[in-house]
Amino acid sequence: MSLDESQTIRPADTTTPTPSRADAPVLGADTSGSSTDAPVAGADASGSGAPDLGADAPVAGADASGSGAPVAGADAPDPGNGTPDPEAPSGRGPRSGGWAAVRPLVLRMHFYAGLLIAPLLFIAAGTGLLYALSWQAESIVYSDELTVSRVGDGAVPLSTQVRAAQSAAPTGKVIGVWPAPEAADTTRVVMEKPGLAEGETLTVFVDPYTADVRGQLTTEGDALPLRAWLSEFHSSLQLGEFGRNYSELAASWLWVVALGGLALWIGRRRSRRALLVLPDRKATGRRKTLSWHGVVGLWAVAGLVALSATGLTWSKYAGENIGELQDRLGGATPAVSATLGEAADSAGADEHAGHQMPGGAQMPPPQPTADIGIDKAVEAARAAGVSDHVRVTLPAEGKGYVIKEQDKQVPVHLDAVAVDPADGKVMDELRFADYPVLAQLTRFGIDLHMGQTFGLANQLALAALAVALMFLVFWGYRMWWLRRPTKDRALSFGRPQPRGAWRKAPVTLLLPLAAVTAVVGWFVPMLGISLIAFLAIDVLLGFVAGRRAAAARA
């Protein structure tokens, strides 16, 4: 193999020698050249068959030489064609610090997560793919409800459209109105109705030009039944609160697997830049699979980490910690105040501010004596600059109208105002530009994750990431299968490295690494708990392997 122009020849390290590729135990071929007594995947060096923490792993990555070649591709004869890997470095001794010290840990962690968490990642990617496509499917399946039959010259008043919806659903209580955002769209009248589950509403779709009702559907937020079902399927597999654990566990490990794989892949290909970003077309067998696994992972890593981070923001356990941290940093998402009289109280204009009724009871909030109606409330909001894709929340007890923009595509329009129902004056206003930076980033992150920020392009990018993740999982398992033990041996985890390889790392590296791991494990509980479980299982298997080895020597 010729050297790249950027590649230099370095003197060989003369520290502790490392077994060369030919000396590395390979699945199906031991060091003596026999193909029948090879250490099985995950076997202890004693041949007991138990995996250890230092063991090289075949899923998403490892070589047995300890040379630093990472992702899912051991520097060993390729079981697919029996030819040696030309990319394997010469046998240089391991360094006691830096990447060489950390690599065995990253390798083993990447293997465990790849083998045990990958099924959850595959499911999350598959359901996420369906959700990404649901936006376009929704517009087709519910075209009758979402669009008008003919665009008219002018829309009838919103109040007329609301009355038409009330006539179509007399048992519903109107709580919100979403005027048609585009000329061919219908108006949505959102209602509470007895018998609906928590979070569900009844939405009546009204032609804004004729006030004809186009249909009614049970919705969750802005999601119609198809997208609402797929959203729940993606987040909980339709298993309720318990099912959310699956998606949080997958999101908790996704960034670890992605960044670990990136480090392993760059470490392997750092001297061959072309093969870092493009698949090796000359490779065959497992090395070909490895090349595709590494290259696709490299191109997808930023998106996968972003999906992991944004997905955790609304998870059950990590999401609570993220929310608390955001609040402490002053990044909580603000809300417009629609409480009647609150603006005057805060300005000191109300001479009775702070007065209490006898017995210490607070005075009830003032109630509007008249209601200007939804049409004038929307006019007041538009005069205040809130005019793009608005959604109107009708007044509740002691509250005024809230009119919010909901245009989440770039450039976003997310301003909001509260309007006094008595006189139409704007009581409070909130501009998205005034949000704390953390709140803005959270909003952008969630909308990106849901496929809203860039519309169709956003949804296609999410679909591509989902497909890439499914292929990464498939390739990882394929490499593991190609490196499996011979058929006359029991199937286990992967090839071993010397136990306790992490002990070669300097304390100055191990202590910060342990501290960071502990903090991250506490902040992302599903990651911490599962990591402890992995380590406990590995220690137990190592203990059993040691007992078997001792018994064999006795």
DSSP per-residue codes, 323-359: HHHHHHTT-PPP----BTTHHHHHHT--TTTT-B-GG
Q: Which residues contact 444 (CB under 8 A, 6 or more apart)?
A: 412, 453
* C-alpha to C-alpha distance for 481 and 50, rounded to whole angstroms: 18
235, pLDDT greater than 90: yes
* C-alpha to C-alpha distance for 63 and 495, rounded to whole angstroms: 9
Q: What is the mean pLDDT of residues 267-272?
A: 74
* C-alpha to C-alpha distance for 230 and 241, rounded to whole angstroms: 16
Helix, strand, or coil (residue 263): helix
Buried b (16+ CB within 10 A) or exposed e, 439-457: bbebbbbbbbbbbbbeeee
Q: Which residues contact 105 (CB under 8 A, 6 or more apart)?
A: 53, 502, 513
Helix, strand, or coil (residue 202): strand
Q: What is the mean pLDDT of residues 110-114?
A: 83
Tokens 């894709």 appear where?
389
Helix, strand, or coil (residue 493): coil
* C-alpha to C-alpha distance for 420 and 402, rounded to whole angstroms: 9
* C-alpha to C-alpha distance for 420 and 399, rounded to whole angstroms: 8
363, pLDDT greater than 60: no
pLDDT digits (tens, 9 = 90+) for 412-453: 999 999 999 999 999 999 999 999 999 999 999 999 999 999
pLDDT digits (tens, 9 = 90+) for 145-191: 999 999 999 999 999 999 999 999 999 999 999 999 999 999 999 99
95, pLDDT greater than 70: no
At residue 100 the predicted structure's pLDDT band, cuts being 50, 70 and 90, is: confident
- Count of C-beta atoms within a 10 Å radius of residue 143: 10
- Count of C-beta atoms within a 10 Å radius of residue 203: 24
* Nearest-5° Cα angle at 346, 345 to 350: 25
Question: Does residue 302 come out as left (phi exceeding 0), alpha (psi in the -120 to 50 range) or beta?
Answer: alpha
Domain positions in the chain: 1-142+224-333+442-554, 143-223, 335-434
pLDDT digits (tens, 9 = 90+) for 5-34: 333 334 344 344 444 333 333 333 333 333
Residue from 504, 527, 506 nearest 516 by CA: 527
Residue type, 7: Q
* C-alpha to C-alpha distance for 229 and 231, rounded to whole angstroms: 5
Judged on CB neighbours under 10 Å (0-12, 13-18, 19+), 415 is: buried
Whether the Cβ atoms of residue 262 and residue 249 lie closer than 8 Å to each other: no
pLDDT score at 539: 83
At residue 292 the predicted structure's pLDDT band, cuts being 50, 70 and 90, is: very high
The domain made up of 143-223 has a fold known as Nuclear Transport Factor 2; Chain: A, (3.10.450)
pLDDT digits (tens, 9 = 90+) for 379-413: 999 999 998 899 999 999 999 999 999 999 988 99
Diameter of the chain measured on Cα atoms: 95
Between helix 244-269 and helix 525-553 the angle, nearest 10°, is: 70
Q: What is the mean pLDDT of residues 94-104?
A: 69
DSSP H helices, 363-436, are: 374-383
Peptide bond into 366 cis (omega under 30): no
Does an H or E element contain 551, and which? helix 525-553
pLDDT score at 507: 82
Specify the higher pLDDT residue, 199 or 490.
199
pLDDT digits (tens, 9 = 90+) for 62-93: 333 333 333 333 333 444 444 444 444 433 44
* C-alpha to C-alpha distance for 83 and 75, rounded to whole angstroms: 11
DSSP H helices, 398-524, are: 437-450, 455-482, 507-523
pLDDT score at 352: 39
Whether the Cβ atoms of residue 472 and residue 458 lie closer than 8 Å to each other: no
Helix, strand, or coil (residue 214): strand
